[in-house]
């Protein structure tokens, strides 16, 4: 095992990083100490017992997957699923289980030293709106239902790790919090993890999130986004009779032109950074000066500095457009503008030498699977952006068509994903002697 070549290509997600040559093609090594540690813990008799239990409870994991999948969990409506998941944490052996102010289900498993807290989480929410048929259908080996893979299977993986630890009486040095969190998808805007890692909260020292396909995949950094709704407002009036009033649509046109002209100073150099005006609206009729004009803007980058730069370009363009439109008006009051932030995902970067990243790679390698490091947009973004180590790992099994009504999951060696998760968690939390 030790003779394996512990060098891996970073597979940066092509769609996210294809543009500029600055993306890393580094080959991070797994240091011997982490590999040795993973191999030693994997060989421990209690851990072997836990691994066997993960296989033995597959019928139960299957029942859990069907039950949880069939409890709808649209964005901002995760409550019923959160309550059932909390109950399952109790049934699995945890005593201290609660649902916090934003709806996260959190079950605390004390460690022997209790000097650190390790979070082990999966998100509760799906992308599907209320009313979506979430009945599980079966076709051969595949199980079909919206949200069955992303991320209901993640919840089952968290439960599987907990059940195996309880069965094998495994104790850790650090406390472990088993978490089903809200708000990972879309406009949920990471509000679950934002709450867990808020200022003044009990400090979680590192996070292992379960969310993603192949067992080799480890997300260790994230693409961040800033999203705005920009609205110009004025009195509005008749297109002929009130001609000369400042026009919100005209101001918006100026803003987009200025933004589009100045943005390349950020987007054509360094790390990939994108911007997009995705939706626009306002106005009442062809012969009315509109009283408002709005647009929604999405900007993304893997670098927080670049994200802040493109953000500043947008705000300056909006301000300049406002001044120009007001200066050119012939009559009436000045336009005003509102720039409302409607989404924030911090960009997040961490070194592959970070111990948690090393441990997740070592645990994967201990199962003879070549780990591949990626950047993506997951719950890990948030802690990493605050300097707290985090990775997002596989839920086990294979899946497809995520975020579509034809989503499926198949138990193709699904236990291995759970076992790798357990091994990573034990190397991070410390197996108590
Ligand atoms: Zn997900």
Domain count across the chain: 2
**How confident is the model at residue 207, as a pLDDT?**
98
User: What is the per-residue pLDDT across 346-392, written as a single tens digit (0 to 9) for each?
Assistant: 888 899 999 999 999 999 999 999 999 988 889 999 999 999 999 99
**Position 7 in a domain:** no
CA proximity to 54, closest of 176, 180, 133, 167: 167
Residues 205, 292: one domain? no
Distance 149 CA to ligand 1 centre (A): 8
Distance 147 CA to ligand 1 centre (A): 9
Give, as residue ranges, everything with CB less than 5 Å from ion ligand 1: 150-151, 211
Structure confidence at residue 79 as a pLDDT band (50, 70, 90): very high
Distance 173 CA to ligand 1 centre (A): 29
Distance 120 CA to ligand 1 centre (A): 14
Q: 190: Cβ–Cβ under 8 A, 6 or more apart, which residues?
A: 183, 184, 345, 379, 381, 382
Helix (H, G, I), strand (E, B) or coil at 230: strand
**Structure token digits, residue 273:** 């950074």
Which comes out higher in pLDDT, residue 164 or 186?
Answer: 164
**Structure token digits, residue 51:** 């691994």
Distance 184 CA to ligand 1 centre (A): 7
**Position 2 in a domain:** no
CATH of residue 44's domain is 3.40.630.10
Distance 90 CA to ligand 1 centre (A): 24
Distance CA 207, CA 188 (A): 19
Structure confidence at residue 431 as a pLDDT band (50, 70, 90): very high
Residues 64, 185: one domain? yes
Residues 141, 267: one domain? no
Distance 272 CA to ligand 1 centre (A): 23
Distance CA 15, CA 210 (A): 22
Residues 341, 351: one domain? no
Q: 330: Cβ–Cβ under 8 A, 6 or more apart, which residues?
A: 243, 244, 245
Distance 206 CA to ligand 1 centre (A): 19
**How confident is the model at residue 433, as a pLDDT?**
85
Distance 213 CA to ligand 1 centre (A): 10
Distance 212 CA to ligand 1 centre (A): 7
**For residue 276, what are the domain limits?**
224-345
Distance 31 CA to ligand 1 centre (A): 30
**Position 4 in a domain:** no
CA proximity to 415, closest of 367, 374, 371, 380: 367
User: What is the per-residue pLDDT across 257-316, written as a single tens digit (0 to 9) for each?
Assistant: 999 999 999 999 998 999 999 999 999 999 999 999 999 999 999 888 999 999 999 999
Distance 326 CA to ligand 1 centre (A): 45
Give the residue-averaged pLDDT of 5-24.
Answer: 34
pLDDT at residue 9 above 50? Answer: no
**Position 9 in a domain:** no
**Position 381 in a domain:** yes
Cβ-count burial of 81 within 10 angstroms (0-12 exposed, 13-18 middle, 19+ buried)?
Answer: buried
Which one of 345, 362, 391 terminates a domain? 345
Structure confidence at residue 214 as a pLDDT band (50, 70, 90): confident
Distance 69 CA to ligand 1 centre (A): 13
Give the residue-averaged pLDDT of 325-344.
Answer: 96
Residues 169, 58: one domain? yes
From the CB of residue 18, how many other CB atoms can be counted at a distance below 10 Å? 10
Which one of 345, 364, 390 terminates a domain? 345
Residues above pLDDT 70, as percent of the chain: 94
Residues 73, 199: one domain? yes
Distance 312 CA to ligand 1 centre (A): 30
Which one of 307, 327, 345 terminates a domain? 345
């Amino acid at each position: 095992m030790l003779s394996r070549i512990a060098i891996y290509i970073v597979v940066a997600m092509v769609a996210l990083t294809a543009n500029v040559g600055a993306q890393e093609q580094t080959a991070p090594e797994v240091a011997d100490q982490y590999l040795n540690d993973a191999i030693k813990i994997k060989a421990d008799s209690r851990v072997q017992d836990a691994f066997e239990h993960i296989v033995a409870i597959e019928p139960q994991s299957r029942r859990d997957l069907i039950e949880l999948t069939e409890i709808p969990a649209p964005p901002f409506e995760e409550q019923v699923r959160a309550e059932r998941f909390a109950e399952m944490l109790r049934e699995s052996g945890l005593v201290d289980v609660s649902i916090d102010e934003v709806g996260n289900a959190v079950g605390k498993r004390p460690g022997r030293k209790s000097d650190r807290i390790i979070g082990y989480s999966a998100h509760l929410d799906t992308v599907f709106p209320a009313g979506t048929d979430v009945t599980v259908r079966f076709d051969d080996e595949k199980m079909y239902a919206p949200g069955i893979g992303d991320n209901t299977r993640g919840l089952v993986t968290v439960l599987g790790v907990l059940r195996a630890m309880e069965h094998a009486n495994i104790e850790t040095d650090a406390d472990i919090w088993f978490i089903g969190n809200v708000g990972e998808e879309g406009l949920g805007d990471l509000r679950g993890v934002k709450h867990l890692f808020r200022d003044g909260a009990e400090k979680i020292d590192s996070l292992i999130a379960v969310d993603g396909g192949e067992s080799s995949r480890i997300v260790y950094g994230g693409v961040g986004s800033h999203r705005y709704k920009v609205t110009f407002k004025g009195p509005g009036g008749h297109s002929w009779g009130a001609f000369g009033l400042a026009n919100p649509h005209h101001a918006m046109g100026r803003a987009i032109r200025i933004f589009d002209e100045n943005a390349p100073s950020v987007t054509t150099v360094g790390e990939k950074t994108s911007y997009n005006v995705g939706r626009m609206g306002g106005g009442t009729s062809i012969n009315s000066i509109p009283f408002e004009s709005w647009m929604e803007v999405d900007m993304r980058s893997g670098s927080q500095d670049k994200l802040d730069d493109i953000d500043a370009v947008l705000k300056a363009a909006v301000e300049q457009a406002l001044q120009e439109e007001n200066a050119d008006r012939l009559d009436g009051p000045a336009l005003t503008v509102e720039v409302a932030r409607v989404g924030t995902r911090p960009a997040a970067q961490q070194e592959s030498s970070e111990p948690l990243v090393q441990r997740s790679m070592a645990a994967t390698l201990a199962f003879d699977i070549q780990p591949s490091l990626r950047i993506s947009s997951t719950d890990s973004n948030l802690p990493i952006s605050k300097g707290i180590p985090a990775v997002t790992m596989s839920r086990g099994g294979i899946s497809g068509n995520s975020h579509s009504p034809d989503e499926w999951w198949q138990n193709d060696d699904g236990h291995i994903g759970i076992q790798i998760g357990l091994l990573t968690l034990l190397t991070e939390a410390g197996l108590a002697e």
